[in-house]
Amino acid sequence: MGATNPTFTMPPLEEFAYGLDVTGVDPASLGDALRAAINDVLLDPARLTVWLGTLAMSEQTVAINALRRFAGESPDSVASPASGDRRFADDGWRTNPMLAALLESYLLRSRALVQMVESSRLPEATRRKARFAAQMMVDALAPSNVPWLNPAVVREAMTSGGDSLLRGMENFLEDVRSNNGRPRQVDSSSFVLGNNIAATPGRVVLRNELIELLAYEPQTPRVHSEPILCSPPWINKYYIMDLAPGRSYIEWAVTHGFTVFAISYRNPDSSMAKFTMDDYLRLGVLAALDRVQEITGSKRVNLAALCLGGTLAVLALAYLQAKGQAHRIGWVTLTNSLIDFSEPGDLGVFTDESTISRLEKRMEEHGYLEADAMAGTFDWMRANDLVWNYVVSNWYMGRKPPAFDILAWNGDSTRMPAAMHSQYLRSCYLENALVKPGAFKILGTPVDLSKIRTPLYVLGAETDHIAPWRATYRMTQLTSGEATYTLTSSGHVAGIVNPPGNPKSKYWTSGVVPKGTSAENWRASASATTGSWWEHWLKWAEHRSGALVVPPKLPNGDPAPGLYVRGETGPLSEPSRAKGPTAPRAVRSSAKPVVRTAAKPTAKAAAKPAARAAKTRRAATPRRTKR
């Protein structure tokens, strides 16, 4: 067999879309980068001659191979599909001489384009952008995207008597009507907030102009005296930490004897244009911390943070340490969180000065970054998986997309305030200021991570393209306190969704990481365990969360998951303490939710979570609440 078609590694579908939401970058510079790469080759006659000559000789071999196939022979291909390329999995691409020749020529020319980009003398950042642009072009020109050439599409049409084409047309028209003309990637119609997703029983115990604080009903007779406050990312909704029952990290913690609270961020509008990371700390983590201590009476609260929520949690630690209040936090779990941005993964390609400047101009119009406005652009950047796969399956073959909770959550995107998002991109991705003592200030206080002594449980994901595990590992070396590092076998988004019972799950750990240990040396000494990291984390957290006590009494409040996650606002729990931005109006957001919401809670409904929790506490052994 010939050489496989070379492609650069791309992140999983849900991870790629989420990652681009994290930065919110404007990828318009991709075309400029590809043109620069082509111009670089054209201005070098020697390289251009070699490139054209090699391509011409290979095309000649393709023609000869086609003649040999028509004669009944089986010649070795000049180029073959990469392992795992599902586009050409059908046997027709190999057994039909015409299709085999068409595929061979396509793969050859695709490889030649990528090689031309790789041979350019451009800066690495520009060359990486050109790779993305070249891959977009290659994906669009695939013969599998032509219905009458795709053997799987033709066979499905013949087998169904043409019904597949009619169903595909119906899917196409529905997507044009309600999905901006893009093929759907997930069937989210079966997911209902508060019913089968974000369904752990709880109530809203704080609502300010930025967050709702959710308190979850205890589900065990006794709980650890120190509660857990979940700090999710403000990209998309909080319920990646409370996914479907049985797959919810929050549910897992609640059913194993913890009092759990979670921050649910409001979807920003133009009134929040001037919100900064100071506001997200003051009205977010710090306001939630105050309320959790008030409700539970605990002197210490533990933080469980994910992605950007981890970045904010570390800033909270540094702030409290500087203010002499570090004792308020017992321990912190950081899940797939970047603090040191010196190795930002694939997203670093799209966070240069020129790209961020264009993005800032774009955000000036409304005062926020509208995630939905960029969804189509992001899809085309990963066209094989995010566009063409569903064009073939949904529109050509008449199939429905899968119902997958992670993808449903991933599509439930949020906006980002202009000032905060600009500050985040510049301070973290451009300047990497958080790891430089005194270089970044939060609420007027210089940040010095080396002074933090709070115990850390740091999780990285082996296949994470957004927060590469070696980058997340560096957090273990940035503070003065003890840090335990665990590496899970999944990716960025799926890293938090790791319930026990999956035989494919695996994690590596080696206890407290000694200062001065490199990521490579840690990996060499870490031991692998089959199973979920949740179980390892549970043992770590139980010994650090206080004695078992009677669960605290929770105040009355609207049923979880609250209003903000539904795109609604309501009366604030306390007078606004924000300076400058106005408080939200009690109106429904104009954004159409991706995941359906249950009926608006009533007073009778508000009493149900408490009743269910009380019933659970009477059980002899802990179990998941029946819904």
Is the model's pLDDT at 557 over the cut of 90?
yes
User: Which has the closest alpha carbon to 115: 47, 65, 164, 66?
Assistant: 47
Average pLDDT value for residue range 38-49: 89
Measure the CA–CA gap between 430 and 441, rounded to whole angstroms.
16
Which are the contacts of 611, defined by CB distance < 8 A and separation ≥ 6? none
User: Which has the closest alpha carbon to 316: 282, 290, 339?
Assistant: 282
Element (H, E) at 303: strand 301-306
- Judged by average pLDDT, the poorest of 43-52, 204-213, 252-261, 471-480 is 43-52
pLDDT for 596 equals 64
Q: Which domains does the chain have, with CATH numbers?
A: 3-138 (no CATH), 192-368+415-617 (3.40.50.1820)
Average pLDDT value for residue range 363-386: 71
Contact 288, 263 (CB under 8 A): yes
- Judged by average pLDDT, the poorest of 63-72, 79-88, 266-275 is 79-88
Of the pLDDT bands very low, low, confident and very high (cuts 50, 70, 90), residue 380 is: low
- Judged by average pLDDT, the poorest of 285-289, 451-455, 550-554, 611-615 is 611-615
pLDDT for 480 equals 96
**Mind listing the pLDDT tens digit for each residue in 176-193?**
998 878 888 888 888 899
- For residue 230, indicate whether it is catalytic: no
Of the pLDDT bands very low, low, confident and very high (cuts 50, 70, 90), residue 163 is: very high
- In angstroms, what is the C-alpha Rg of the chain? 26
Measured CA angle at 192 (ends 191, 194), to 5 deg: 130
- Judged by average pLDDT, the poorest of 257-261, 274-278, 385-389 is 385-389
For every residue of 481-532, DSSP letters joined together read: S-EEEEEESS-TTTTS---TT-TT-EEEEEEEPPTT--HHHHHHHPEEEES-
Of the pLDDT bands very low, low, confident and very high (cuts 50, 70, 90), residue 344 is: confident
Of the pLDDT bands very low, low, confident and very high (cuts 50, 70, 90), residue 95 is: very high
Is the model's pLDDT at 314 over the cut of 60?
yes
- Average pLDDT of every residue of the chain: 85
Q: Comparing 616 with 283, which gets the higher pLDDT?
A: 283
Of the pLDDT bands very low, low, confident and very high (cuts 50, 70, 90), residue 520 is: very high
Tokens representing 266 are 């409001």
Tokens representing 365 are 């119009």
Say what angle helices 151-159 and 163-178 make with each other, to 10 degrees.
110
Q: Percentage of the chain with pLDDT > 70?
A: 84
Average pLDDT value for residue range 576-580: 38
pLDDT for 407 equals 81
Q: Comparing 494 with 625, which gets the higher pLDDT?
A: 494
Is the model's pLDDT at 204 over the cut of 90?
yes
Catalytic-role residue among 307, 374, 420, 425: 307
pTM for the whole structure: 0.81
**Mind listing the pLDDT tens digit for each residue in 349-368?**
677 788 888 888 889 888 99
pLDDT for 379 equals 61
Of the pLDDT bands very low, low, confident and very high (cuts 50, 70, 90), residue 616 is: very low
Is the model's pLDDT at 63 over the cut of 70?
yes
- Judged by average pLDDT, the poorest of 392-406, 512-526, 581-595 is 581-595
Of the pLDDT bands very low, low, confident and very high (cuts 50, 70, 90), residue 597 is: low
Average pLDDT value for residue range 206-214: 97
Average pLDDT value for residue range 395-407: 89
pLDDT for 551 equals 97
**Mind listing the pLDDT tens digit for each residue in 302-313?**
999 999 999 999
Contact 276, 420 (CB under 8 A): yes
Tokens representing 41 are 């080759």
pLDDT for 184 equals 87
**Mind listing the pLDDT tens digit for each residue in 223-274?**
999 999 999 998 889 999 999 999 999 999 999 999 999 999 999 999 999 9
Q: 302 forms bridges with which residues in the sheet? A: 228
Q: Percentage of the chain with pLDDT > 90?
A: 60
Is the model's pLDDT at 144 over the cut of 60?
yes
